[in-house]
Amino acid sequence: MPRATQPFLRRCIRFVLALVIIAVASFLDWPGRHLGWLVPSASAFTTSSNEKSGSPLAVVLPGTVSFAAQNFSVKEGDGFATITMTRTGGSDNQVVAKVSLTDVTTSPADYRYAPGSLDTSFNPGTGADGVVYATALQPDGKIIIGGSFSNFNGVSANRIARLNPNGFPDLTFNPGGSGVANSPGGVVGSVWAVAIQADGKILIGGYFKTYNGTPRNSIARLNADGSLDTSFDPASGPAPDSALTKIIVQPDGKIIIGGGFTSFNGTSRNHIARLNVDGSLDTTFDPGTGSNGGLSDVALQVDGKIIIGGFFTNYNGNGSDSF
């Protein structure tokens, strides 16, 4: 090609390239038309940038995704759990997460049953052959029961027994004799109230005259093995012959009793009394004329005041309808 024509051709090529650039730039400037670049970084994302308008290339960093709590729970029967995640930092306005859930439970015991459903891990077998009137839970999970029964799951248990946490009789608990004996007149003796002291000894109350052949009028204290604690001596105890229905142990060890009695060890006490730790009457607790009917329940408030309920309409001269 003649040397004179080369500048002309170069000018033509430049002109054509200029037309192409203008066309492409016009195309990119249409509404909704944006060209995006990818930044070669594993931790960065990019948004669109309009080069013609002069805006800089926007590099967007991802945020941090974390669970809102360490543990999440699901209710029985729901079949799913709501898991909340929180996002902090970043400005890419999107979160992509892949969560794998693995059930590592290996035993049905790991599940908590719905409230009110039967706990099949507690199996009393044939249970008591009479009525159970009172229960008390020991700190070790064992259960003291009292009532009018004479056997529990085929094991001799005369009105008082202790169960293991699984419901089976605790054979280490042995009254060592006849246990609670019948009341005079052939009335079947029974245990109506049970309370456990801080030292593990067990108070029982009800309607009976002896425990293992030793006179105990409707109230007795047992050692942790079921034997009679002879250091607790209520003497003649509540009178006349009527059931002691409630026992409450105060934090100081003194004992509140309620029931159908009108005296304790010869001292007038209408249906409520307080005993010292040795079983003697605490004369500093004086209910006056007390209630005009028997008590069926007694509760102790945290401030030491006592709530009573039963079959009465008057307490110490003041009208009060059963409570």
Lowest-confidence region among 178-192, 231-245, 291-305: 178-192
Q: Taking 50 as the threshold, does the pLDDT of residue 32 lie above it?
A: no
| Residue 186, pLDDT score | 57
Ranked by mean pLDDT, the top range of 52-61, 96-105, 123-132 is 123-132
| pLDDT tens digits, 209-235 | 989 889 999 999 999 999 999 999 999
Residue 96: other Cβ atoms inside 10 A: 7
What band does 46 get if pLDDT is binned at 50, 70 and 90?
A: very low
| Residue 7, pLDDT score | 53
Average pLDDT for residues 261-290, to the nearest whole number?
95
- Token digits for 227? 């034997």
Asked if residues 188 and 213 have their Cβ atoms less than 8 Å apart, the reply is no
| Residue 187, pLDDT score | 61
Give the CA-trace dihedral at 11, 17, 23, 24, to 10 degrees. -160
Q: Taking 90 as the threshold, does the pLDDT of residue 13 lie above it?
A: no
List the one residue out of 167, 184, 200 whose CA is nearest residue 239.
184
Comparison of pLDDT for 312 and 104, the residue scoring more: 312
- Token digits for 179? 């246990």
Asked if residues 142 and 196 have their Cβ atoms less than 8 Å apart, the reply is no
Residue found under tokens 């003041």? 318
Residue found under tokens 């309409």? 313
| pLDDT tens digits, 68-108 | 777 767 666 666 667 777 777 776 666 665 555 555 555 55
Q: Taking 70 as the threshold, does the pLDDT of residue 185 lie above it?
A: no
Task: Return the SS3 of 60.
Answer: strand
What pairs with residue 105 in β-bridges?
A: none
The burial class, CB within 10 Å (0-12 / 13-18 / 19+), for 140 is exposed
Pure H helices in the chain: 6-28
Mean pLDDT over the full length of the chain: 78
The burial class, CB within 10 Å (0-12 / 13-18 / 19+), for 18 is exposed
Average pLDDT for residues 50-68, to the nearest whole number?
55
Average pLDDT for residues 6-21, to the nearest whole number?
49
The burial class, CB within 10 Å (0-12 / 13-18 / 19+), for 258 is buried
| Residue 59, pLDDT score | 54
Tell which phi-psi region holds residue 316, choosing left (phi > 0), alpha (psi between -120 and 50) or beta.
left
Asked if residues 121 and 141 have their Cβ atoms less than 8 Å apart, the reply is no
Comparison of pLDDT for 255 and 72, the residue scoring more: 255
Sketch out the chain's domains with CATH numbers.
132-319 (2.130.10.10)
| Residue 181, pLDDT score | 77
C-alpha 142/C-alpha 196 separation (Å) is 11
C-alpha 226/C-alpha 217 separation (Å) is 17
Could you tell me the CA-to-CA distances from 133 to 72, 136, 239, 244, 246 in Å, in that order? 41, 11, 21, 12, 11
Asked if residues 137 and 163 have their Cβ atoms less than 8 Å apart, the reply is no
What band does 178 get if pLDDT is binned at 50, 70 and 90?
A: confident
Residue found under tokens 């079921």? 226
C-alpha 42/C-alpha 260 separation (Å) is 83
| Residue 23, pLDDT score | 45
